[in-house]
Amino acid sequence: MNQIFERRYYYSNLNMMKQCESIINIMSSTVKVKEGRGKNIKEVDKLLYPNDKDVLDMAKNSYEYYRSLYEKEMERNKNITFRDYQVDIISKGRKILEQHKFLYLAMEVRTGKTLTSLAIAEKMDVKNVLFLTKKKAISSIENDRDLFIPSYNLTVINYESMHTVIDQANWDLIICDEAHSMGAFPKPSLRAGHVQRLIKKYKPLVILLSGTPTPESYSQMYHQVYGIPNNPFKEFANFYRFCDKYVKVKDKRFNGLVIRDYSDGLDTILDAMKPYTISYTQKEAGFNSSIKEEILEVEMKPSTYSLINKLKKDLVIEGKSEVILGDSPVKLMMKTHQLFSGTIKFESGNSMILDLSKAEFIRSHFGDSKIGIFYKFKEELNALQQVYGDRLTTDLEEFDNDNSKVIALQIVSGREGISLRNAEYLVYYNIDFSATSYWQSKDRMTTMERLCNKVYWIFAKNGIEYDIYKAVTKKKDYTVSHFKKTLL
């Protein structure tokens, strides 16, 4: 690339164009000079600064560069109109990123985190930006990229493909979508470790995005930021030393063993993150929608209840070629959970559908309605495919473009980064134990215009789903505190 003038602090593309134009005019200035002798004397134009041709060439290259950026900016303004709150967040986010080298955008779902982060990156005059997200969200983010038309090179990949781009470019900025997915403790997850190594190698600016920063414990914040050099917990060598100051560590007994519980993180974790965080709620953004939940009960086949009762009594069911084993409390709960939705995974690793009652009930109850279905176990998807046939899809684009389609998404992979705004209802074939799954997945239909989101839970009569639902909904929502005005 030809050399160009660096952008002056807070200069827009238009200002840089004008500055380059002024330099070009000055460096192109000429004076009249007489040449020749006697009758051959004539006046010619000569450059006033003939020895500064390199500066003139650099000014011309710079003018073309910033003109190109300005044209993209004008095209972007035609495509996107940021809301007032987004303009404010972009301005504040830029200042935080300049000062601390990292920013946490704790913005609730549907408030525009992605485009806001891309706009902040645009203000930072970066060349190579890496956007890490979930696989199912890539197409949506690439659509935002194409709409936004950034002046920088933007690469969008899923976290699992990080290794393919680690040497692809000198990353100036990394955006970590759904950052709470790096919050595992006490040991860092593989994902958090890979991001840490990427940051260590390139020392980029970092923007973290999440609508649920700490869904189950404030302790989840540590490994989201531990790889960032300027994070507020950098004085601690590891999570355990972090706990000395920020966590009430407890001893709990489980099956005769003493287990250390690090989940009781203190509110002071949020206080420490305050200078780096911008929070924004759906309510502040003007969303007036509510979520109404309803439980629908299904009578499963008698054979399903017989299997469950036998497993609870004997802790094992042996068939001709397969075995169902529930010889520990956790295993028994998992197998019972599967059976109450009509599927099972055997000890061999094989799995099968035992009861189509839930799938058939969903098709019968919702008829031709355009619905989004969340399932937990893979055989539940197979059950839905058997019942719905070609009407069922797992592709979001196909669902959005065909009103006859019903979409099925796995709870964990479908709970984040996608929009089911075209669905009339959300239907849960089963329920997950995770509070993150509960809080995020049921908000997939929310839009600015929608006043009510209807969510249906399909539970087996006398099933374990009721107990899981009560446990999940009673979990403290550690996300709410991020959006309290006193903490902003």
C-alpha to C-alpha distances, 4 to 16, 17, 24, 63, 482, nearest whole angstrom: 11, 12, 13, 8, 42
Q: What is the mean pLDDT of residues 37-49?
A: 82
| pLDDT 10s digits, 156-192 | 999 999 989 888 889 999 999 999 999 999 999 999 9
Q: What is the mean pLDDT of residues 269-288?
A: 88
Q: What is the mean pLDDT of residues 436-454?
A: 60
**Type of residue found at 488:** L
pLDDT at 486: 39
| pLDDT 10s digits, 72-90 | 888 877 778 899 999 999 9
pLDDT at 290: 75
CA dihedral 43, 48, 52, 57 (to 10 degrees): -80
- Write down all domains in the chain, each with its CATH number in brackets: 13-79 (no CATH), 84-285 (3.40.50.10810), 290-480 (3.40.50.300)
pTM across the whole model: 0.68
Helices 138-148 & 113-123, crossing angle to 10 degrees? Answer: 50
| pLDDT 10s digits, 305-327 | 999 999 999 999 998 899 999 98
To the nearest whole number, what is the mean pLDDT of the chain?
A: 88
Q: What is the mean pLDDT of residues 324-345?
A: 92
pLDDT at 482: 61
Say which residues have a Cβ less than 8 Å from residue 109's Cβ, sequence separation at least 6: 211, 282, 440, 443, 444, 446
pLDDT at 256: 75
What span, in angstroms and rounded, lies between the C-alpha atoms of 220 and 476?
14
pLDDT at 13: 83
Q: Which of 75-89, 119-133, 199-213 has the weakest average pLDDT? A: 75-89
- State yes or no: pLDDT of 480 exceeds 60: no
| pLDDT 10s digits, 105-122 | 999 877 889 999 999 999
pLDDT at 310: 94
How many CB atoms are closer than 10 A to CB 93?
Answer: 23
What span, in angstroms and rounded, lies between the C-alpha atoms of 92 and 9?
16
Q: Which of 202-206, 300-304, 425-429, 481-485 has the weakest average pLDDT? A: 481-485
Q: What is the mean pLDDT of residues 401-413?
A: 89
Please check whether residue 272 is in contact with residue 232, taking contact to mean a CB–CB distance below 8 angstroms: yes
Q: Which of 231-245, 326-340, 363-377, 474-488 has the weakest average pLDDT? A: 474-488
